[in-house]
Amino acid sequence: MTHIHARAGLDPVHPAFVRAAATGLTAAEVAERVARGQVNDVPVRSSRSLGEIVRANVFTRFNAIIGVLWLVMLFVAPVQDSLFGYVILANTGIGIVQEWRAKKTLDSLAVIGEARPTVRRDGVAARVGTSEIVLGDLIEIGPGDKAVVDGVCAEADGLEIDESLLTGEADPVVKRPGDQVMSGSFVVAGGGAFEATKVGREAYAAQLAEEASRFTLVHSELRTGISTILKYVTWMMIPTAIGLVISQLVVKQHGFKDSVARTVGGIVPMVPEGLVLLTSVAFAIGVIRLGRKQCLVQELPAIEGLARVDTVCLDKTGTLTEGGMDVTELRPLQGADETYVRKVLGALGESDPRPNASLQAVIDAYPDAEDWRSTESLPFSSARKYSGATVSEGDGESGTWLLGAPDVLLDPDDDADASALAETERLNEQGLRVLLLARAAHDLGHSEVARGAEPVALVVLEQRLRPDAADTLRYFADQDVHAKVISGDNAVSVGAVAGKLGLTGGVVDARRLPDDQEAMARALDEGTVFGRVAPQQKRDMVGALQSRGHTVAMTGDGVNDVLALKDADIGVAMGSGSEATRAVAQIVLLNNSFATLPSVVAEGRRVIGNITRVATLFLVKTVYSVLLAVLVACWRVEYPFLPRHLTLLSTLTIGIPAFFLALAPNKERAKPHFVRRVMRYSLPGGVVAGTATFVTYLIARHHYSGTGALDAETSAATLTLFLISMWVLAIIARPYTWWRIVLVASMGASFVVVLMVPWLQHFFALKLVGVTMPWIAVGVSAVAAVALELLWRWVDRRVPA
């Protein structure tokens, strides 16, 4: 066996197993295939194109309705009655700009997190972009690498590939030269190389990778809820608008154009057009904020999903601890010679071209001796918990050695083994990781190679704790999010590490967990730290937690985390993790910092909490607009408002405040049933506002009867509606902070300015006539405000969220 450490270009390459006869394509052959178009050129997009962004923001159902009404108003009414159209243009422009900014952020991050397979050309291994692979390329793979194109195995060194993401079969498949390698599968043990037989759109990997990393705007409870609301709004609008049109055309006391203007004025506010826009803007700004922290959101709803999480499953290695380890002590057993043991360890390290963190620490501590060589190797597998090699010693003799978990390799009923296990337990209690070096009694090809292994030495490793892990765990505890440490390492050792980070709770050896899902779920609820967890068991544990109604996030960076990451509600992968974990995760922490997770949670809570808050503002307007239209049609009176009045009210009580409220900090944990939560406030709020406004309007019509002062009647109704809407805003803005008080007060002051400045009075057709009617309007508003307070408090107590 020969190990060649080759590098080409600027990208670093892992040490790779290379056979002299298999040098890969030559530069000329690569150029020829590129010229023929035999390139893996399927684009993997992380976001929508600019054209898709524009279409999604411009061509909406409600933009079409508003656009038609705007064109009508441009012909039949003064420009101030067409202001709502310009507001829609501005809003749509803001939405396009914000999502374009989010797209650029995502695209730049996607390049950083892009998989770069190792390809051997002219006998030299180099990393290339996925789109640079050509037909016939020899692609090297090792633990954690994903097959990005279809191919045929050319080399195999204990190569085991997991095809569960494609076939659903959980057991890894051993690959030998000539076997098919399916794109989308990933390596769990060993290494090798395969020749690309299908590239571009012919390879299934192209579809899989694009689907896995595509930036989506779907499958979000928030968006689904808003779509549901809009669907019902549409069905309410149609008959209400028809009734309003008929009633206004019958009541022609003030001319056809004025009737049309008031009809449009009744239809426009039924449309909660800003709600969809504000949701898009809030999500886009969330993506930009997280992008600045090197957090790649591969699926937009992941921001929302993590905010709903109540349980976080943490893989210890790479999450709570840094990837690297250090050998702190070597303890020979049963009188073994330490110098001899060091040489064996050096040869074992040399046997694996893609060492994991534990073996890398051994390699760093014990360099291989020139006259000791590995002639056969068994790569480490997280399923069996050990690796092995047949070592040719300097004197010509050879032996088979195993390196792995003591509690897996040793028999507790054997006295010598029991002594080694007791020593291991003491070290584990100190938070140290222990590997056992054992001489095997059988060849590596034996089905039970570990049976009867003789313990020779304990290798003591110290893991490097992440400096930010304790603060992050404390954050989750404060936010009532339960952390579960799920690791393949020894349970006692993992528990000690968790204890150093301030995580308390029961420590469980996962090998003793019941197979029954319900029983496993109970054990998971009671325990906090779980060790010796098999890869398939991680997946089962996620499913068991979900069966109890938990929303589960899973973090990880190793190939043994892939299945659990895929099944979890939210998968979070480290940027330095394997290609397979990055492909299936919804969120990738490119800076490998576990401390970024609180930012993602906070961003999701901000978006969901604030959109739920401001959605009430928009839907109160929709409800009172529909109610006013129905009441006007039933009483056969002129609609009380022109479009300019409602544009002013919407801007001051909804548009401007909602923008600020939607981007404000919000740490409240996201709650389910978005539609129910919003409508339980919007319906009573809209009914009170619409009823009070119409009562004021009828009183004003009677008060000003005979004068023909429609402007005075409208002004009184506008004052009532504004004051009630301001009270709704004041309730929504709670709990108060200095800037929320300033926001509400400035909106009220702006309306006062409109009433006081003559040219603004004329522009908006608002003029309060006399003293009696304005004070009646204020009184009706005060009664409505009290009714709102009582109703919403009753809803809080009696109506389930």
Highest mean pLDDT among 64-73, 265-274, 615-624: 615-624
* 490, 491, 493, 494 alpha-carbon torsion, rounded to 10°: 110
pLDDT of residue 11: 39
Residues 167 and 229 in one domain: no
471 CB contacts (<8 Å, ≥6 apart)? 595
pLDDT at 232 over 70: yes
Of 3-17, 97-111, 152-166, the least confident: 3-17
Q: Which residue is associated with the tokens 């694009």?
A: 210
Query: pLDDT band at 757, cuts 50/70/90?
Result: very high
Specify whether the CB–CB gap between 136 and 24 falls below 8 A. Answer: no
Residues 206 and 239 in one domain: no
759-788 average pLDDT score: 91
117-145 average pLDDT score: 87
**Is the previous residue joined to 735 through a cis bond, with omega within 30 degrees of 0?**
yes
Residues 207 and 240 in one domain: no
pLDDT of residue 694: 95
The percent of residues in the chain predicted with pLDDT above 90, rounded, is 15
* 571, 577, 581, 586 alpha-carbon torsion, rounded to 10°: 40
Q: What is the pLDDT of residues 519-573, one digit of tens each?
A: 899 999 888 999 888 877 888 999 999 999 898 999 887 767 777 888 888 888 8
What is the distance between the terminal CA atoms of the chain, rounded to a whole angstrom? 66
Residues 657 and 750 in one domain: yes
pLDDT of residue 717: 94
With respect to residue 198, please indicate whether it lies within any of the assigned structural domains.
Answer: yes
pLDDT of residue 719: 95
With respect to residue 598, please indicate whether it lies within any of the assigned structural domains.
Answer: no
Of 180-184, 206-210, 740-744, the least confident: 206-210
- 467: helix, coil or strand? coil
CATH number, domain with residue 447: 3.40.1110.10
Query: pLDDT band at 407, cuts 50/70/90?
Result: confident
Residues 72 and 25 in one domain: yes
Q: What are phi and psi of 392, to 5 degrees?
A: -90, 115
The percent of residues in the chain predicted with pLDDT above 70, rounded, is 89
Residues 425 and 351 in one domain: yes
pLDDT at 721 over 90: yes
pLDDT at 258 over 60: yes
pLDDT at 253 over 70: no
* Cα atoms in the Cβ-side hemisphere of radius 13 Å centred on 360: 11
pLDDT at 133 over 50: yes
Pick the more confident residue, 237 or 19: 237
**DSSP structure class, residue 596:** G
Residues 277 and 379 in one domain: no
pLDDT at 699 over 90: yes
Cα–Cα distances (Å) from 565 to 144, 195, 569, 661, in that order, read 14, 29, 8, 34
Residues 523 and 611 in one domain: no
With respect to residue 202, please indicate whether it lies within any of the assigned structural domains.
Answer: yes
Specify whether the CB–CB gap between 616 and 796 falls below 8 A. Answer: no
Pick the more confident residue, 580 or 634: 634
- 738: helix, coil or strand? helix
Query: CB burial class (10 A; 0-12, 13-18, 19+) of residue 475?
Result: middle
Query: CB burial class (10 A; 0-12, 13-18, 19+) of residue 761?
Result: middle
Query: pLDDT band at 477, cuts 50/70/90?
Result: confident
Of 124-133, 177-186, 236-245, the least confident: 236-245
Active site residue 337: no
Q: What is the pLDDT of residues 659-670, one digit of tens each?
A: 898 888 877 777
What's the mean pLDDT when you consider all of the chain? 81
Query: pLDDT band at 396, cuts 50/70/90?
Result: low
CA 157 to chain centre: 36
Give the DSSP letter string of 255-290. Answer: -HHHHHHHHHHHHGGG--HHHHHHHHHHHHHHHHHH
pLDDT at 324 over 80: no
Q: What is the pLDDT of residues 41-70, one digit of tens each?
A: 765 555 567 888 888 788 877 788 788 888
**Domain final residue, candidates 464, 487, 510:** 464
Residues 313 and 428 in one domain: no
pLDDT of residue 1: 36
Residues 313 and 334 in one domain: no
Residues 208 and 240 in one domain: no
Query: Counting runs of H as helices and runs of E as strands, what totals does the chain give?
Result: 28, 23
CATH number, domain with residue 737: 1.20.1110.10
With respect to residue 358, please indicate whether it lies within any of the assigned structural domains.
Answer: yes
Catalytic choice (315, 368, 540, 567): 315
Q: What's the token pair of residue 615?
A: 């959605």
With respect to residue 597, please indicate whether it lies within any of the assigned structural domains.
Answer: no
Specify whether the CB–CB gap between 710 and 637 falls below 8 A. Answer: no
With respect to residue 504, please indicate whether it lies within any of the assigned structural domains.
Answer: yes
292-321 average pLDDT score: 80
Q: Identify the CA nearest to 606 among candidates 303, 203, 209, 191.
A: 303
pLDDT at 657 over 90: yes
Residues 130 and 241 in one domain: no
**Domain final residue, candidates 566, 592, 618:** 592
Of 173-182, 408-417, 481-490, 644-653, the least confident: 408-417
**Domain final residue, candidates 448, 464, 480:** 464
- 605: helix, coil or strand? helix
- Provide the residue range defining the domain that includes 234: 217-287+604-798
Query: pLDDT band at 20, cuts 50/70/90?
Result: very low
With respect to residue 162, please indicate whether it lies within any of the assigned structural domains.
Answer: yes
Residue type, 358: S
pLDDT at 141 over 80: yes
590-606 average pLDDT score: 82
Query: pLDDT band at 110, cuts 50/70/90?
Result: low
Q: What is the pTM of this model?
A: 0.69
666-679 average pLDDT score: 79
pLDDT at 209 over 50: no
With respect to residue 599, please indicate whether it lies within any of the assigned structural domains.
Answer: no
Number of compact structural domains in the chain = 4
pLDDT at 363 over 50: yes
pLDDT at 794 over 90: no
pLDDT of residue 279: 78
pLDDT at 207 over 50: yes
474 CB contacts (<8 Å, ≥6 apart)? 502
Q: How many Å apart are CA 69 and CA 748, to the nearest integer?
A: 29
Q: What's the token pair of residue 121?
A: 């050309």
pLDDT at 40 over 70: yes
